[in-house]
Structure 1
Amino acid sequence: MLINCDLHSHSGYAGGVGQISLDDLEAAMDKKGIDVFGTGDCLHPLWSRFLKDNVVEAEDGLFSKKGNKARFMLQTEVIFTAAVGSGRKSVHTVLLFPSFESVDRTCQLLENIGVKNTIGRPFIKCADNFDVGNKLSKILDIDDKIEAIPAHVMTPQGVYGSNNPIDKMKDFYGSATDRIKAVETGLSADPEILSLIPELDDYALVSNSDAHSAALNRMGREFTTVETTSFSYSNIIDAIRKNKIARTAEFNPTEGRFFLTGHRVGKKGHGDAYCVFSPKYTPKDNKCPICGKKLTVGVLERALQLKDIQGGTREFGELSPSTKDFVNMVPLVEVIAYSAGVTSVVSAKVVALYDKIVGAFGNEVKIWFEKDYVVRKRLESVDATDNVIDNIIKVKNGNFSFSPAGFDGTYGKLVVGKKEDVFEVNVISGKASGQKRVF
């Protein structure tokens, strides 16, 4: 059986996240087509207590509100920070747990090693990569079913990110590296980009939304489909460890907030000016031509750097032999809002049409894997306009771009029916070069 899993999220106890209810999560899971969702922040004492009071174990290691079909997996994100090179590096890491007992024992371990467990994402301070490996191993030793997955590996907060960069996974995770079996692609990367990095040939690639709310453009914007014999925590973890990934659904990386190199509007000294560059146009000194400070290096540029550092030979577009099927998606509410000419994805008009469309298909996931003629017929059955229908079909077939692509914490801007060459972006305060190669 195929199970759609979105195993990285946050509760209301993580910074920048409002209060989130299980009812809202379940409703969004049903619409999006997500079978198993990560609880987020399960180590936080208050959220852990809430979960214990409100969910029951439905199958081995999977939880639900009593009688409901939505399944939750106990999950958190932690931040390991350690001295690496000339400074400190902080790396986000997803942890998955098989039981509340393993969660409680991990909380006790964190207390014993002096970690303040008062925020959704605990900071685990380490001396160096040896200490990271030691502390992560202690967590994994609590239960052999606990899984650690480096989160959004290419963003500045990921293990390969541009903040105090490293060359190899072991440079940060130390002796625990051999116990890591999968990495999370993140919103600004996908298997095509990660195929540039030779070291990742040995890891399963999983995708999760990193959702900070139950909003329809956040939850399920990325997910992983695993092939197992039945619903259970053990089967899902086994599929990840053995790379029995049927497919991943990827947020289009050009929409992701760190795809290209640049500085966004609002940076100190910028005002309403910005700059964004493809790798070959990045200033040689990596300094912003507007403010003179170091640019935020994008995922595409960082992946190409790692390719050279690790001696990679694949060119962009050549997939690793271990790559599983994947599809790039755009959240349906974003396509509807674009078609309607509105900026808000929660406007009554957008949500009403979204609900009609999802009702015709069963859930949003099915749209992206259905044949075009079936999609068109069902969209016509709910009186979607020709513009909406055409734009959904175009997005399904890859006839769209984000212009500009995402950079320095800013999401890309959707343009349907037009391609943009992400290797030919050279923009300073809105002045762009020509575009040749299509992404």
Structure 2
Amino acid sequence: MQVNADLHIHSKYSKATSPKMDIPTLASESMKKGIQLVASGDCLHPQWLSDIRTLKEENGVFRLKAGTNVKKGASFVLTTEIEDINQVHHLLIIPSISKAEELYEFMKPHSKDIDSNGRPNVRLEGYEIADAAISAGALIGPAHAFTPWTAMYAYHNSLKECYGERHKHIYFLELGLSADTSYADRIAELKCLTYLSNSDAHSPYVNKLAREFNRFEMEDISFDELKMAIIREKGRKPVLNVGMPPEEGKYNESACIRCFTHYTIRESVMKSWKCSCGGTIKKGVKDRVNELASFDEPQYPDHRPPYIHIIPLSEIIAKALGVGPNTKGVQSAWNALIDQYGSEVAVLIDADIKNSEVDARVISAILAFREGKIKVNPGGGGQYGSVELPGSVASKPQKMNKKNCDPQTSLCNFDE
């Protein structure tokens, strides 16, 4: 069977997250999206783990019990994101509640906020966190590995530099919103790793949840099957990565975090990474990959699945109609498509939608994404890039939401 999975989100107990990041909402919204397996996120947080305990556990995944208001919901797998002493973020996928408790007890003496923040800061090196994860039977890998604020490649030049000898037990790397397979496969040391494309969602709704996801070939939905799929054992494997065009990510190009002026790497160095406005120029993922690259062009290993670029359906509809994403027209078209095809993922990448009765402009816009006919103006400095439809499809241009243009003021103030 093929399983769509988003393996990195956060709960309502993390900073800057929606209070609706609760289990029933996540379960129901995941199914609308077309996701069968979703990360719990934040499973070391005592209150969130208590909430997870109310679910039915079977083979290392968790489901809503019969009798809940949600008739059909996604399964959950235990995950957490941890920030180490060097500000590097690590994603852990954990086999059971008892192992989550074991990791909590190990981390607690090294963390001041493990009881208050779903994404705890832990005063340990990457290799020490990896040691604990591996001992617990968990999978661990770098989260949003190229992000310039809190990623492995922001502070290290290699897996070994981050994880020491435990780098031999790192089986996956999370790409993040500002990178895709074509970026990562220019780096030789990553050729054996599985790439994960996850949403890192702070909101449960379908414009954030599973905006990036993975499709795995598995026998059933369980922790062991997921682990085999990530490690690529016994025919289990990833068969598709789906995510935003990397240029749309907030850190794709080097840019000022105050005024968002973009700079080449040469210009940034000449200006000592200080913008004319006085703000800091933050190195973009594209420039960082160029520094790390072993190859001028990506060298894809045989096991690497295709990567499909897409954005949330509501955003495509809004661009096609030339209206805001929260308008009644967008909601009406979205509902009609979901009613007809079952889920957002089906509409975006799987279903034959050419004969749909929804506004032809919407169908043409979705097909333009499928066919790679869009243009992306790159993001940088904490500001998302913008997507343009082909001239024959586009309606009037939309202004970027003002919240996307706020200066970056905190390490917590990003949704990667």
Q: Indicate the TM-score class for this superposition, using the shorter chain for normalisation.
A: 0.7 to 0.9
Equivalent positions of 1:268-307 (< 5 A) are 273-279=259-265, 282=268, 284-292=270-278, 294-307=280-293
Residue 367 of structure 2 corresponds to: 393
Q: How many Å separate the matches in 1 of 2:298 and 2:307?
A: 13
Instruction: Give 1:335's aligned amino acid.
Output: I
Residue 142 of structure 2 corresponds to: 150
Asked if 1 retains the 8 angstrom alpha-carbon contact of 2:313 and 2:348, the reply is no
Q: How many Å separate the matches in 2 of 1:390 and 1:363?
A: 18
1:74 to 61, 70, 78: 78
Instruction: Give 1:300's aligned amino acid.
Output: K
Shift of 1:321: 4.3
1:242 to 228, 232, 255: 232
Aligned to 1:301, what secondary structure does the other structure show? helix
Asked if 2 retains the 8 angstrom alpha-carbon contact of 1:201 and 1:322, the reply is no
Asked if 2 retains the 8 angstrom alpha-carbon contact of 1:109 and 1:139, the reply is no
Aligned to 1:377, what secondary structure does the other structure show? coil
Residue 35 of structure 2 corresponds to: 34
Residue 432 of structure 1 corresponds to: none
Residue 255 of structure 2 corresponds to: 262
Shift of 1:115: 5.1
Equivalent positions of 1:76-91 (< 5 A) are 76-81=80-85, 89-91=86-88
Aligned to 1:187, what secondary structure does the other structure show? coil
Instruction: Give 2:98's aligned amino acid.
Output: E
Aligned to 2:87, what secondary structure does the other structure show? strand
Q: How many Å separate the matches in 2 of 1:294 and 1:274?
A: 10
Q: Compared with structure 1, are the counterparts of its residues 3 and 48 closer, same or farther at alpha carbon in structure 2 (3 Å cutoff)?
A: same
Quote the sequence identity (%).
Answer: 27
Shift of 1:106: 1.2
Shift of 1:298: 0.7
Q: Compared with structure 1, are the counterparts of its residues 178 and 252 closer, same or farther at alpha carbon in structure 2 (3 Å cutoff)?
A: same
Instruction: Give 2:256's aligned amino acid.
Output: H
Shift of 1:286: 4.7
2:361 is the counterpart of 1:375: no
Equivalent positions of 1:208-227 (< 5 A) are 208-227=198-217
Aligned to 1:277, what secondary structure does the other structure show? coil
Asked if 2 retains the 8 angstrom alpha-carbon contact of 1:76 and 1:121, the reply is yes
Asked if 2 retains the 8 angstrom alpha-carbon contact of 1:286 and 1:294, the reply is no
Q: How many Å separate the matches in 1 of 2:25 and 2:383?
A: 26
TM-score, reference length from structure 1: 0.82
Residue 342 of structure 1 corresponds to: 323
Greater CA drift, 91-100 or 169-178: 169-178
Aligned to 1:338, what secondary structure does the other structure show? helix
Aligned to 2:8, what secondary structure does the other structure show? coil
Aligned to 1:353, what secondary structure does the other structure show? helix
Q: How many Å separate the matches in 2 of 1:339 and 1:399?
A: 14
Asked if 2 retains the 8 angstrom alpha-carbon contact of 1:159 and 1:169, the reply is no
Q: How many Å separate the matches in 2 of 1:263 and 1:201?
A: 32
Count of residue correspondences: 382
Shift of 1:155: 0.5
Residue 351 of structure 1 corresponds to: 331
Name stretches of at least 5 consecutive residues in structure 2 with no aligned partner.
67-71, 392-416
